[in-house]
A and B are shown apart, each in its own frame.
Chain A
């Protein structure tokens, strides 16, 4: 009796520690985001107040100003948003198609220097994007891609393809080759077998690869800040810079725009979260 009681209380303590640990880690991850959301609704004086004001006042002034005219602290939110959307969606779609093709090839076919290519692709990921910004800038300036959607899309496709290849390669590797073989015997061409059987089975994996690609493009700042100039191509992260003047930073406005930036990412992740989880724990799919 006694032994089982101590056993139980020990288990309860362990469980409490476990929850506490989880809470701390989640806090670490979530508090900056929360801070941004909260500050977007507080007057500027309160944001900067020292010591901090613990009872916040609610205001929509930053949002009003942001959507307002250029003279009153307004920024072209809709332009930035649509630029971000166009660039991210286009680069994601293209990267997924190229990356999926590559991942499939790595998973299914043997060819010379296969491992070399693969390592090369991964090494390419290791180069920090900023290091490429100057050469990119020069090349893009020569061919007239500075300050265009296409230029940015190209850059993001190049950034996302290696990662997409790596992810989809893993997913396709886990699909037994008998699926496409059975489909081919059932009358499919190789192409049909892929689209009718292997692609639907790997759908979750592709969806999670797409989310990663989309978020990378959506959040990218370093290269975008070099390669975009005007309202016609600046993306949301670059737009955040509009709130910094020479001597002041409009924290409230910046937070408001950041919130607008976070929302689509959150919504998207939420929509595909089922796929995301299924995709990341792919082992469970086995027929």
Chain B
């Protein structure tokens, strides 16, 4: 059983604290993705788990062992780096077998293990090449092969797809997910790309400024964002947020002009006069007649559309919401002229209310 547990883990660089007391429990076999904007401390956290950075405070355990003072080689982990870090003076075969050769395994066993990994990742044709003779995607696969050969308890990935072009990235994403389903190991995966996080993760850890903002399954984060940061970081396009004020009459006045009822989930949490941010996703603001199914309370709105982004199966509409631009989605797209006014339905039960003071979601 390989759980990874972080207990109040802190990283300081001199006086600067990069990671502030992170608590996290990663279950055996779980695909955990650390996501957040660049500089939020994801890599630092991962590198502390790997043993590449000292832990300033707190405790990390892998399985039942506290690993704080163990060097990387004794933690039984593998890591795939953003720049792959393939050994440039070795062939692919030597790169793959390196870890076993260091462990002084018998040559026959090394060969079997290397062959197996090469088979899994389709590297058989490339075995005698050097890293400099490989394409980006091939290097990526070799790096993953090198990680597999080690038979680690935990795989660590640090932005492994960032150096690939968009198409290859999608392809490798699928391969990584397949790899996980095949080997079943615990994986901790770092990325700044929320799409990668959503598509790969069993659970997501959303970080900002060295803190964990929210931990949960992709759908939990998508449907129940903890605060405005979660709401805008996860999901594409980001959630629309509109300033509003709570009134006595169980309504919210948005931008001093539009009045909507308070969504049921937030009713018990708001007080009259409170400044809030009212949030909804593009998927919940649709031209009348375009939603797959309209659920719960609907609010009727007439909005003028300034810009459209056709995506094929759907079209993204940029509409004017009392002077603020919001994004809406049109399923069954039809041509829309700029400036055209369209009747929308806002699905109130899917809307969120955040405290304007601290950004936290107001929800029962």
Contact = CB atoms under 8 A, between A and B. Distances in A.
Given A192-B102, A287-B132, A185 B87 contact: no
A187 interface: yes
Interface in A179-204: 179, 181-189, 192, 196-197, 200-201, 203
B263 to A, nearest CB: 48
Contacts of B103: 187
B72 interface: yes
A285 interface: yes
Interface in B57-98: 71-73, 77-79, 81, 83-89, 98
Range of interface residues on chain A?
20 to 34
Given A186-B73, A187-B73, A287 B85 contact: yes
A21 interface: no
A186 B150 contact: yes
A186 B85 contact: no
B90 to A, nearest CB: 9
A114 to B, nearest CB: 14
Q: Which of B85, B86, B98, B132 has the most CB of A within 10 A?
A: B85
A190 to B, nearest CB: 8
Nearest to B102: A187
B361 to A, nearest CB: 39
Among B77, B84, B86, B98, residue most surrounded by chain A Cβ atoms (within 10 Å): B98
Interface in B7-51: 50-51
B83 A184 contact: no
Contact of A197 (B71, B78, B87): B87
Nearest to A285: B88
Interface residues of B, number: 25
A178 interface: yes
B203 interface: no
A176 interface: yes
A188 B85 contact: no
A243 to B, nearest CB: 47
Interface string A165-181: 00000000000101101
A266 to B, nearest CB: 28
A176 B88 CA distance: 11
B131 interface: yes
Nearest to B100: A187
A84 B18 CA distance: 55
Contacts of A178: 81, 83, 85
A227 B85 CA distance: 49
B52 interface: yes
A186 B98 contact: yes
A285 B89 CA distance: 10
A188 B102 contact: yes
A287 B88 contact: yes
Given A185-B72, A285-B88, A176 B102 contact: no
The interface residues of chain A, by DSSP majority, are classed as: helix
B52 A201 contact: no
B146 interface: yes
A286 B78 CA distance: 22
A186 B131 contact: no
B224 interface: no
Nearest to B84: A287
A184 B73 CA distance: 6
Contacts of A201: 87-89
A186 B97 CA distance: 10
B60 to A, nearest CB: 15
Interface in B141-161: 146, 150
Contacts of B98: 183, 186, 196
A179 B88 CA distance: 9
B99 interface: yes
B362 to A, nearest CB: 44
Contacts of A186: 73, 98-99, 102, 146, 150
Contact of A182 (B51, B85, B132): B85
A179 B52 contact: no
Contacts of A286: 88, 132
B189 to A, nearest CB: 16
Q: Which of A185, A188, A196, A203 has the most CB of B within 10 A?
A: A185
Contacts of B150: 186-187
A200 B73 contact: no
A179 B85 contact: yes
Contacts of A188: 73, 102
A189 B72 CA distance: 9
A181 B52 contact: yes
Contacts of B102: 186-188, 192, 196
A287 B99 contact: no
14 contacts: A176-B85, A182-B85, A182-B146, A184-B71, A185-B51, A185-B72, A185-B79, A186-B98, A187-B73, A187-B103, A187-B150, A201-B88, A286-B132, A287-B131
Interface of A: 176, 178-179, 181-189, 192, 196-197, 200-201, 203, 285-287
8 A-B pairs with least C-beta separation: A178-B85, A287-B88, A186-B99, A187-B102, A182-B85, A184-B72, A200-B89, A187-B73
Given A181-B81, A188-B102, A197-B89, 15 more contacts: A179-B85, A181-B50, A181-B72, A182-B85, A183-B87, A183-B98, A185-B72, A185-B77, A186-B73, A186-B99, A187-B99, A201-B87, A287-B83, A287-B86, A287-B88
